[in-house]
Amino acid sequence: MAHAGPGEFDHGVDRAVVTGALGGVGAWIVDRLADDGVEVVGVDLERPEGDRPNAQFRAVDLTDMGETWETVHEVDPDAVVHAAAISGPLDDPGTRVFENNTTSTYNTLVAAGRADAEVVWTSSQAAYGMLFAEEPWLPDSLPITEGHERRPEDPYGASKYCGEVVAGTVARRYDVPVTTIRPASVYGPEAERARPQREGFDLEEGELSGNLWSYVDVRDVARMVEAALAADERGHEVYHCVADENYLGQPTAEIIEAVAGELPEECDLEGQQAALSNAKAKARLGWEPAYSWREADESPSPGIDWR
């Protein structure tokens, strides 16, 4: 499997704001764009102690409209990549998760629209309701496409649903391109985002996984951000960011049926194909996953220890 480096997608972006720049996803996005020669301004609640070429960092509370709008106005970026969020509804109060994510997304995307900047932001598979459902969740059809109904059952999924509504609003009101990326469960090569556990999985005793065993490598998320910035599109578009296959190495439909006891009436999965479809991203963005759980890749974390 070929691993493409920066410069793979000709995006033409000179300056970008990346929110959540200290996070497990945002740090990789900062690194990818900076390596590609983009002047990156990374935004998070704190600044890192180190630095790296082509990147500077600002401490900004994105739930504060004034701070957010002032920062975007001063930087005057070509693009804003919004990767900041609280993603642990099981670890944080639901009110905090929902308020932080919806407010920060609204402030950031509207500030970008007012600055006439292109927007790429990370939503989640949780918008469908699959990740933190109280009861085992089956989709209406398989594979799941971007048009599947969104019916979240938790504060995190609800916040991402609201963010997608905001994304469409900003695209219409300010006539800027807005790309929503819905990643599967994100894993990476380093310890902080360890690869999924596969050993010891038993079809007889296994429970239905909220992600239906779909995943994506964090480096492929950063690559999709770059691909989205290179796309010549207007309006609001949504793309799944997911590896081609499940992470158990077994036929996906057989896993789901064995654990759930049934399959949706419409099921067109073949072999180990991921439950979430990445066909739209392949066709429209020219993006394909470059990293698989099958590889024993121990690539280091981004250039400085900012996480």
Q: What is the pLDDT of residues 244-277, one digit of tens each?
A: 999 888 899 999 998 888 999 999 999 999 999 9
Please name each of the domains of the chain with its CATH number: 15-193+217-244+275-285 (3.40.50.720)
pLDDT < 50 regions, the chain: 191-193, 296, 303-307
218: Cβ contacts below 8 Å, ≥ 6 apart: 24, 25, 28, 186, 187, 188, 193
Q: How far apart are the first and last CA of the chain?
A: 28
Residue 57 · residue 47 · CB < 8 Å: yes
What pLDDT is attached to residue 307? 32
What pLDDT is attached to residue 206? 60
Place of tokens 């939503």: 123
What pLDDT is attached to residue 103? 98
Strand pairing class (39-44; 236-241)? unpaired
Calpha distance 109→67 (Å, rounded): 13
Q: Cβ of 190: how many Cβ atoms within 10 Å?
A: 17
φ/ψ region of 12 (left if φ > 0, alpha if ψ in -120 to 50, else beta) reads left
